Amino acid sequence: MPSHKQVIIQDKLELREVACVARDKAHVQLSPEVKKRILSSRGYVEKIIEKNQRVYGINTGFGALSEVTISREKLQELQHNIITSHAVGVGDPLSEDVVRAILLLKINTLSKGYSGVRLEIVEALVKMLNAGLHPVIPSKGSVGSSGDLAPLAHMSLPLVGLGEVEYQGKRLSGKEALVIVGLSPFKLQAKEGLALINGTQVTNAIALLALLDAEILAKTADLSAALSFEALCANREVFDKDIQRLKPYKGQADCAENMRKLLGTVTKKRVRLQDAYSLRAVPQVHGAVREALAFVRGVVEIETNAVTDNPLIFSEKKVVSGGNFHGETLAMACDLLAIAVAELANIAERRINRLIDKNISGLPAFLINNPGLNSGFMIPQYTAAALVSENKILAHPASVDSIPTSAQQEDHVSMATIAARKAEEIIFNAQHVISIELLCAAQGVDLGKAELTQATKKIKAEVRKRAAFLESDRLMIKDMQGVFESVQSGSLLSAVEKEIGALK
């Protein structure tokens, strides 16, 4: 069904607007000012063609073939060829929300008025997006410069009546998809094929949605840590404001404030004078994750509203070929995102381990009555350990690698799309680890009959909606999946914030 929400493309696109289009199916509209910019830029390209000026990307070959001049009668063929020749991606298709974000980000960058495409091309992308026509885009094949060439070529295929589109759960040909929005296959004009495939929109779309998920997860990790604190009777003094002000990172202070809000400041039953680092250093570790996420957000906000095409059309002043398509900043940011979230899972798994170890927790072994007959939460910790170990491998930075392409013309590339996809996978794994901590901590609280705060009562209640207390061994995968879905969607966090107010 069509969404009642609408996002207008004008000067600056907010990350929340991208999420609204990608995940809530908000409709997109071009502002009158945007249309004027697109028409003006296209007008200059047509003057270049009329004057028969030699300009890269308009009437030359691409990459290492940039010295080859293309005659006017071959310009349409040139632009068609760049789409078909570059659509060589492999692997599983990108998810629907990522594809919707890619379309929106491509519309946004073309709307800046520096790309020289016809207004009809941008409007066709808008129509496809609003109609729920999602190009099938393989996930692998981009080296992150000269932009996300292969996946963006797959995005563009339907415009010329080729490729495939997902529509209402079915796959259609690109030509069939255009009929739905009342269009025929386009004959791309000078500069248009290059403008469509040149840019960082695939990497940016994956990174943007992954970042938003990571920001939710960082707060949810505070919830799971708080419930573990209750189960383990850990010392709340570590969240004292005076400690935080002597190491004044905003992320650390925000985390400590959250933990005070969730747990209060008085430890009701102290078990030990000092707790292990996975408890005592929650503000320092969760806070460091927040610092990293803040940096990544800044990068993604800039990239979302950047022009990453090449060459760039500066009104009637000049056409300049540069390197804005290079995804190095995004690559480094995505590598940092991956490392940060991997650490969020890493410390959570250590708290899980403390909960199930009777020699540390003071609770029944593996959080189950009659251990031996029952394994309890022994194996969920194995799953968490496996995911954390996998994350350590995935966290190896992609941005430090480069393999030259295009006969050494593109001799340093960013591998940004690989960095973004790895970060996305790490977040998925970390969401599962935090879910397992929530399950273990809820069980520990019930076994230890801990006295809870208003906030931790709510956290446990939300877990119990999806997973009953484990009296004896049973199939737990449905319990795990239920809690995972509440973590992934942010519904658990939303329910707690509704009860106690927003967390930082």
Q: What is d(CA 142, CA 332) in angstroms, rounded to the nearest whole number? A: 16
- 10 Å Cβ neighbour count for 503? 20
Residue in this structure with the two tokens 């290059």, named with its chain if needed:
194
Q: Provide Rg for the chain, Cα atoms.
A: 26
Transcribe 197-248 into DSSP letters: HSSSHHHHHHHHHHHHHHHHHHHHHHHHHHHHHHHHT--GGGG-HHHHHTS-
Task: Tell me which amino acid residue 148 is.
Answer: D
Do β-strands 90-93 and 312-314 pair in parallel, antiparallel, or remain unpaired?
unpaired
Read off the DSSP letter of residue 164. Answer: E
DSSP 96: H
> If you write DSSP's letter for every residue of 30-91 in order, what string do you get?
E-HHHHHHHHHHHHHHHHHHHHT---TTTSB--GGGTT-B--GGGHHHHHHHHHHHH---EE
Q: Each residue of 216-248: b (16+ CB within 10 Å) or e?
A: bbbbbbbbbbbbbbbbbbbbbebbeeeebeeee
For residue 95, give the DSSP letter: P
* Token code pair at residue 395: 């966290």
Cβ density class 89-123: b for 16+ within 10 Å, e for less: beeebbbebbbbbbbbbbbbbbbbbbbbbbbebbb
CA distances from 33 to 38, 43, 46, 304, 305 (A): 9, 15, 20, 19, 16
Does residue 382 have an active-site annotation?
A: no
DSSP state of 157: G
Q: Would you state the torsion angle of the CA atoms of residues 419, 420, 424, 430, taken in this order, to the nearest 10 degrees? A: 50
- What is the rounded distance in angstroms from the CA atom of residue 95 to the CA atom of residue 121? 23
**Active-site position among 56, 249, 277, 382:** 56
Distance in angstroms (rounded) separating the CA atoms of residues 100 and 95: 9
State the distance between the two ends of the chain, measured CA to CA, in whole angstroms.
34
By annotation, the residues acting in catalysis are 56
